[in-house]
Amino acid sequence: MSKTLLITGGASGIGAETARRAGARGYRVAINYRSRDAQAKAVVADIEAAGGRAIALPGDMAREADIVRLFDEAERALGPITHLVNSAGIDPSRGRIDEYEREVITNLFAVNVIGLMLCCREATRRMSSRHGGKGGAIVNVSSMAATLGGRRGASAYAATKGAVDAFTKGFAREVAAEGIRVNAIRPGPVMTEMTEGRLNEPGVLAAVAASLPIKRIGEAHEIADAILWLLSDEASFITGAMLDASGGGYII
């Protein structure tokens, strides 16, 4: 069976590493991005240089029309979508609740939650046996922040990931009998483009590493390999699960 994987937020970080490794495993890969055009095309070039097939497709996860177009264009170019990784996400500057601005919170939920849910909707319309599809697998990228409310100043971000977890569990039950498996992965601290600015502040990297039982920050490829396992037939009896890829969680 041919495998077509759509990855939102696939131009950088965990999404990009998942795309490269998926291409090497025989997936045809559609890489979505919002503004990282050069990076997305570089990931495509890496996949094609290794003998794989990939395309880069722009689209803003806060815009429903972009999401629908993204799925349509991916299928026209690569064939029916069989796998989806919802990796797109934003983590705005940190602050307490008394510092929140409505516009920031609205956009945070629009990208991290509503956009993800709409992607799952579009995938279901294509994958579900109820709609004539042949099934598929979806992985939603959550965060360990969902389990404890995040580190200081990250309560809003943590709330979006808590919503992702709750949605994943309910959604998985809704479509399990229709051939679709849905799971979430909850990374702990991982060095990516989104986190490196904060982690590279003096003393922060060492402090965060010390708060983990494994005593180090994760690497993007470690999360990517776990995502690809959840997508694979090796995880064929797993749906509605939350996989913590976190170095043991937090030391409380």
Residue 49: Cβ within 10 Å count: 9
CA dist., res. 136 & res. 178, Å (int): 9
State yes or no: is 157 an active-site residue. Answer: yes
Q: Which amino acid is at 191?
A: M
CA dist., res. 132 & res. 18, Å (int): 28
Contact by Cβ (8 Å): 123, 64: no
Q: Among 27, 33, 157, 250, which one carries the catalytic annotation?
A: 157
Q: Which residues is 167 bridged to in the sheet?
A: none
Residue 119: Cβ within 10 Å count: 25
Question: Could you tell me the two tokens for 105?
Answer: 């919170």
Q: For residue 214, which phi and psi values (nearest 5 degrees)?
A: -80, -15
Active-site positions?
157
